Chain A
Amino acid sequence: MMRHLISAADLTRDDAVLILDTAEEMARVADRPIKKLPTLRGRTVVNLFFEDSTRTRISFEAAEKRLSADVINFSAKGSSVSKGESLKDTAQTLEAMGVDAVVIRHGASGAPYRLATSGWIDAVVINAGDGTHQHPTQALLDAFTMRRRLVGRDAGLGQDLAGKRITIVGDVLHSRVARSNVDLLHTLGAEVTLVAPPTLVPVGVGNWPCEVSYDLDSTLPKSDAVMMLRVQRERMNAAFFPTEREYSRRYGLDGDRMAKMPEHAVVMHPGPMVRGMEITAEVADSGRCTVVEQVANGVSIRMAVLYLLLGGNESAVAHTRTEEK
C-alpha cells in the first residue's frame, strides 16, 4: 500500500481489491451489537474540512470511531483559517498536537497533494475530496457497492469489475466523483461511459480511459450500473444548459428511462440528490437505487482505508476474530 491516499489513479488493481476485501471484513463489524474494533486505539485522526460536507465528514468520523481512533474535527469556518491562516500553518499546528493522519476536504484541487508532498507535515494524508480533482474514497465505496450488487458479497472477494459496463451521467466537468470513478473503474477492468451535455465535459477528456456520449437513451440498455451526478442549478446561469427542465428532459433519469436499463442494472448516486433535476423520486426511491447502501458502504470503505494506511501489518481479520472470542 501507498503511504497516502490522494488520487484513485494512484491505486493499482491489487491495492484496490485489497481495500474492497478489507471493507467487506469491516462491514461485518457493523452487523455486530458492538460496532467497534481496537485497531487504531491511541492514534489520532483529524478531519480537516475546509469545505462544508456533513455527510463525508460524518462518514469518516464514524469509521474512525469504529476503529477506536481519537478524532478531532476541524472545520475551517470560524477558525483561524477564516482569519487568513495558510494551509501550511494550519496543518503544522495540527501536527504539533500529535496527529497521525489528516483527512482533508478542500475546495482547491491539489491541496491534499500539496499537503502530502511539500514537506510541511509527516502525517498520513487522506483525500476526502479536493476541488474538481479527486474523491478517492467515494470511488472506492462506489466500486464496493457495484461489486456487491453485480458480482456478489462473497463471490466478489478477490474479484475486480472486469467487463462491467458503468455509465456516469451529469456534470462531469465539475465532478471529482466522475474523475475518481473513471480512474478506479478503469483500473478494476470496467468499461466506463460518460454521458453529459457537451458543455459539461472537460476539454481534454479524450485522454481519459472511457467513452463519452451525449445521448443517454442509447447508453442505458448497455449499462450494468448508471451513476447519476448531482447537477447544481447555478450551472445554468453560466450557460452550461438552458434551463433546469431541459436538462431533466435530456439527461435526467426517470421511470421510463430506468425501464430501458437491463433488469439487473442498478442506479447509483453519490448524494446529495437533487430530486426533480437529475433523478426523479420514482427512481430515487426504487429498489434499484443504491444510494442508501452507498452511505453504509462508505463507512466500511473508510474504515478499510484508515486501517490499511495506519493500522500496520496485523490483519484486520485477526482483530475481528480476537474481538469475537
Chain B
Amino acid sequence: MSKILIRGARVLGGEAQDVLIDGETIAGVGTDLPAGDATVVEAEGRILLPGLVDLHTHLREPGREDSETVLTGTRAAASGGFTAVFAMANTFPVADTAGVVEQVYRLGQEHGYCDVQPIGAVTVGLEGRKLAELGAMHESAAGVTVFSDDGKCVDDAVIMRRALEYVKAFGGVVAQHAQEPRLTEGAQMNEGVVSAELGLGGWPAVAEESIIARDVLLAEHVGSRVHICHLSTAGSVEIVRWAKSRGIDVTAEVTPHHLLLTDELVRSYNPVYKVNPPLRTERDVMALREALADGTIDIVATDHAPHPHEDKDCEWAAAAMGMVGLETALSVVQHTMVDTGLLDWAGVADRMSFAPARIGRATGHGRPVSAGEPANLTLVDPAYRGAVDPAGFASRSRNTPYEGRELPGRVTHTFLRGRATLMDGKLA
C-alpha cells in the first residue's frame, strides 16, 4: 500500500503537524514524522481539514446528463475538497425506488472520485401524495438515510407527519425543501423592494418560514428529527433557534451563495442569479452568517445545481433555477466566515464535514484527523487569491454566479481513503 506524508499542515487550523497516511488510514499525526518511503506533500501554511461532506448536491444522472453526470459531478466534488456528497432525488426517473438509488450509488463507487450517498424521494415521483418505499431504499445497497423531495416541498401536513414518523424505524431523516407552494406560484425572486421595482413575481420569506415553523412543531409532536434544506431568511433563523431552545431535534443548512449574494444582483436580469430559494437581502445574509457561526445553522451545503448554458442564456422568467457550487463552496465560506472572523477553521471542519456526516450518517466521513481514522482529507491553501474562472471547472455546467469574482483560498489536495483524488490542484 502507498504511503503519503503531509508535512507541516495546520490541522484544523491549529499548529503545524505532519500527517502520515498509510493505505486507506491515517497512520500517525505528530511533529517531525519520518518520511521513509512515503510520498511527501509539502503543506507549510496550508490548512488540513477532514474531507468535506455535502449534504445537498444535484448530480443530474440519470436523466439530465447534458448538465452533469455522476462522473463529472464527483470530479467537481473532488476539486472542491469533498470526499462525500449526498445526491438529491429529483432525477429522471426520480430516485424513489431501490433500483434508482442503487444505480447512482454504484456509479459513484465505480468512478471513485468521491463517495456518493443517494438521497431518496419522500413521495412517489416527488408528487407529495404517496410515500415512496423509504424502507426499501434504506435496505438497498445504497443504504439511504436521508429523504427529500428537494425542488418541491412536502407541503401536505399529513404526508410530512407520516414521513417524519416512518423513518424513525431506521434512523432516517427527512430533509425539507421549505416552500409553501400557493404562496410561491409564479415566484421569480425574493419578494421585496427589488421585486416591486423589477416587476418579477415575489417569493416571500413567509413561504419558507411558515413551513419551517410547521415542520419543527410536527417533529416535536412525533419525536422525530427533521432537517431544513437551504435556509435563506432571517426569520427562518429565528424559528430554528426557537425550536432548538425547546429541544426539538432540528438541523439546518445554508448554501454558500446565501451567505454572500443578495437580491440586488437580480437587477441585472441575468439568470445566473436565479436560484431557489431566491437570493435574499443583506439583512438576511448577515443573519445567516451569524446563525452559522453560533451553530443555529448546523452546516453549509452547496445545493450544487448544474444547468446547461441554454437554460441560463435567456430571459429571466424562462431560465432554470440553480447555481453550481461544489468548486467554489470552501472559498465562499472562507471569504464570508473565516476572513470575517466569524468562524475558525475548526468551525469550518465542523460545518462542512463533521456535522453533515453526522446528520446524514455518512460512515467513515467527518471523522477526526487522528491515527486510525479513514484518510479522508482536504488540504487548503488559504493564502491563495484568484478570480473564479468557470472554464476551469470539472463540472459539466458553468452556471456560477462568481465568474470573474476574486475569492480567497484554494483546495490543493483531496484524499479519499488515502488515495489522492486531487493532487496539486489537478484531478487524479
Residues of A at the B interface (CB closer than 8 Å) are 86-88, 106-111, 113-114, 117-118, 130-134, 176, 179, 202-208
Contacts and interface: CB of A to CB of B under 8 A. Distances in A.
Contacts of A88: 313-314
A218 to B, nearest CB: 24
A110 B198 contact: yes
Nearest to A120: B313
A114 B316 CA distance: 8
B314 A134 contact: no
Contacts of B268: 117
Contact of A133 (B191, B193, B199, B202): B199
Contacts of A110: 198-200, 269, 315-317
A118 B312 CA distance: 12
B139 to A, nearest CB: 43
A94 to B, nearest CB: 16
A207 B317 contact: no
Nearest to B185: A238
Given A108-B315, A110-B198, A208-B196, 5 more contacts: A86-B313, A107-B317, A111-B316, A114-B269, A114-B315
A131 B310 contact: no
Given A110-B198, A133-B198, A203 B316 contact: no
Interface string B261-300: 0000000111000000000000000000000000000000
A108 B313 contact: no
A192 to B, nearest CB: 15
A117 B316 CA distance: 13
B222 to A, nearest CB: 33
A134 B269 CA distance: 13
Interface in B184-242: 188, 191-200, 202, 204
3 closest residue pairs by CB, A with B: A204-B196, A110-B269, A133-B199
Given A86-B310, A110-B316, A176 B196 contact: no
B207 to A, nearest CB: 12
Given A86-B313, A110-B269, A203-B204, A134 B191 contact: no
Interface centre among B195, B197, B314 (most CB of A within 10 A): B197
A123 B318 CA distance: 23
A202 B315 contact: no
A134 B194 CA distance: 14
Contacts of A87: 314-315, 318
A207 B197 CA distance: 9
A202 B195 contact: yes
A131 B318 CA distance: 12
Contact of A106 (B197, B270, B315): B315
Contacts of B196: 202-205, 207-208
Interface in B314-352: 314-318
A204 B316 contact: no
B315 A204 contact: no
20 contacts: A86-B313, A87-B314, A87-B318, A108-B316, A109-B198, A109-B269, A110-B200, A110-B315, A111-B317, A114-B269, A130-B199, A132-B200, A133-B198, A133-B200, A134-B199, A176-B199, A203-B191, A203-B192, A204-B194, A207-B197
B129 to A, nearest CB: 24
A207 B316 CA distance: 23
B202 A108 contact: no
A317 B199 CA distance: 37
Contacts of A133: 198-200
Interface centre among B198, B202, B310, B313 (most CB of A within 10 A): B198
Contacts of B191: 203-204
A131 B315 CA distance: 11
Contacts of B316: 108-111, 114
A132 B204 CA distance: 17
A316 B198 CA distance: 33
A88 B188 CA distance: 20
B63 to A, nearest CB: 19
Given A87-B314, A109-B316, A110-B269, A204 B197 contact: yes
Contacts of A132: 199-200
Contacts of B195: 202-204
Contact of B197 (A107, A117, A131, A179): A179
A114 B267 CA distance: 11
Contacts of A114: 269-270, 314-316
A208 B193 CA distance: 9
A88 B309 CA distance: 12
A205 B202 CA distance: 13
A114 B202 CA distance: 20
A113 B195 CA distance: 15
A204 B202 CA distance: 10
Contacts of B204: 203
Nearest to A179: B199
Given A86-B310, A114-B269, A203-B204, A108 B317 contact: yes
Nearest to B196: A204
Nearest to A86: B314
B272 to A, nearest CB: 11
B193 A206 contact: yes
Contacts of B310: 86
A88 B269 CA distance: 14
B318 to A, nearest CB: 6
Contact of B318 (A108, A130, A205): A108
Nearest to B316: A110
Contacts of B317: 107-111, 131
Contacts of B313: 86, 88, 118
A164 B270 CA distance: 37
A198 to B, nearest CB: 14
Contacts of A179: 197, 199
A173 B199 CA distance: 8
Interface centre among B191, B268, B269, B314 (most CB of A within 10 A): B269
B203 to A, nearest CB: 11
B318 A207 contact: no
Contacts of A204: 191-197, 202
A112 to B, nearest CB: 9
Contact of B193 (A111, A113, A207): A207
Nearest to A107: B317
A114 B196 CA distance: 18
A202 B192 CA distance: 8
A131 B199 contact: yes
Nearest to A130: B199
Interface centre among B188, B196, B200, B202 (most CB of A within 10 A): B196
B308 to A, nearest CB: 12
Contacts of B200: 109-110, 131-133
